[in-house]
Structure 1
């Protein structure tokens, strides 16, 4: 999946100086945040694969050391949070980025930092600065709340998140 994400990032970089020139002037920041969110999630899974996953040893991305994958994941997710105010439609990326940051910090053993991100998701407060363009719930909010409650429960019981 990373080659696809990097391809989108390359296409977006070509419009970085003038986002208004991207696909009719709309969606640049939504796509930028989507690409960085997906990159962050991919690198989190490279750094900390799920216990029930069968790892494909032929995958060249597995050569990325855990610390580097963690750093790339944190950097990509932070880009989503930093650029969240510019999102036009896909506000859920900000909430899901906080969730993924919490997941990553939990995997890294930084429980206080993980809890901080989980608590932000559960707070019910608008996390995007430009929340005026959002009407009602964000996409898949109920699912994220359920996953976040489960992650906090696992964190409280010392189980893998």
Structure 2
């Protein structure tokens, strides 16, 4: 509850207390490691987040590819990197495709995402804000957004990244992919900092840039969904419905599609309920009440 409310330091203490409380059920430790990993990522403590991803990789049997990618992505976020650290990162990313597993003949969507991103790092030796991207695709901004002090440093780094991308546009091989990712993150930050008009502009720009995106085709779909979520928050119900339905009908075959569809379907249900309430006339007075009047 402390984590969901945005009180991340208190949450860290509680998870650590839970770990030392017992040692018989290691699965509970893994649950705590998972949440501690995200808590430290929310705080921008990337080394600690990476260390918990490493512990999960060593102890948990869920998804070795996902844990390895999370560890590498968090280490990329560390700003002072040496030549040795870059070689180590390349080694970590190269392990991700080998670790991908198939369950009942199918791969986990998040593992496919991790493999794509790892291949991109191997080819270009860079990823843009992969730690924040992971927080976003795991819906972690709903927690970050509870605390302004958590969102503001994210926005500052995202805006600095956008400025750097603009300076190096001609030498950036996947400029529009990187720019759109950073712009989606900027829009989400602005939404939670109560700047809805600026956030709306960010999401609209990403939707417009869809034809220029080479690899990250999930970004326009997610930006369109963010417009729907934003309009729902503002009670602009027809616009919300239009954009949410557009996500389901006009975007196909992108990474993490099913993950987004769950959120969109929930939002559409909320839109339907809100529209029904808006269309319901005021209840007629009961006959007994009329007589008393």
Fold match, TM over 0.5?
Answer: yes
Q: Find the counterpart in structure 2 of residue 139 from structure 1.
A: 255
* Secondary structure in 2 matching 1:158: helix
Which string of whole-angstrom CA distances, capped at 9 and with x for unpartnered residues, describes residues 33-56 of structure 1? 001100111111222xxxxxxxxx
2:161 to 1, 8, 31: 8
1:32 to 174, 179, 186: 179
C-alpha displacement of 1:71: 1.2
2:171 to 9, 14, 21: 21
Q: What is the alpha-carbon distance in structure 1 between the residues aligned to residue 231 and residue 190 of structure 2?
A: 13
Identify unmatched segments of 5+ residues in structure 1.
48-68, 127-135
Q: Find the counterpart in structure 2 of residue 106 from structure 1.
A: 232
- Alignment coverage as a number of residue pairs: 122
Q: What is the alpha-carbon distance in structure 2 between the residues aligned to residue 13 and residue 20 of structure 1?
A: 9
Q: What is the alpha-carbon distance in structure 2 between the residues aligned to residue 138 and residue 90 of structure 1?
A: 8
Which string of whole-angstrom CA distances, capped at 9 and with x for unpartnered residues, describes residues 73-123 of structure 1? 011111101212100100000000000000111111110011110010111
* Secondary structure in 2 matching 1:2: helix
Q: What is the alpha-carbon distance in structure 2 between the residues aligned to residue 103 and residue 45 of structure 1?
A: 12
Runs of 4+ in 1 over 6 A off after TM superposition: none
* Secondary structure in 1 matching 2:235: coil
1:84 to 202, 206, 210: 210
C-alpha displacement of 1:137: 2.3
Q: What is the alpha-carbon distance in structure 2 between the residues aligned to residue 8 and residue 106 of structure 1?
A: 29
Q: What is the alpha-carbon distance in structure 2 between the residues aligned to residue 143 and residue 73 of structure 1?
A: 22
Identify unmatched segments of 5+ residues in structure 2.
1-153, 276-293
Q: Which protein has greater RCO, CA pairs closer than 8 Å, 6+ apart?
A: 1
C-alpha displacement of 1:158: 2.3
Give the TM-score taking structure 1 as reference length: 0.72
Asked if residue 150 in structure 1 is aligned to residue 150 in structure 2, the reply is no
* Secondary structure in 2 matching 1:157: helix
Give the TM-score taking structure 2 as reference length: 0.40
Q: How does 1:21-100 map to 2 (within 5 A)?
A: 21-22=171-172, 26-47=173-194, 69-100=195-226
Rg larger in 1 or in 2? 2
CA RMSD of aligned residues (A): 1.5
The structure that is helix-richer by fraction is 2
Q: What is the alpha-carbon distance in structure 2 between the residues aligned to residue 158 and residue 146 of structure 1?
A: 19
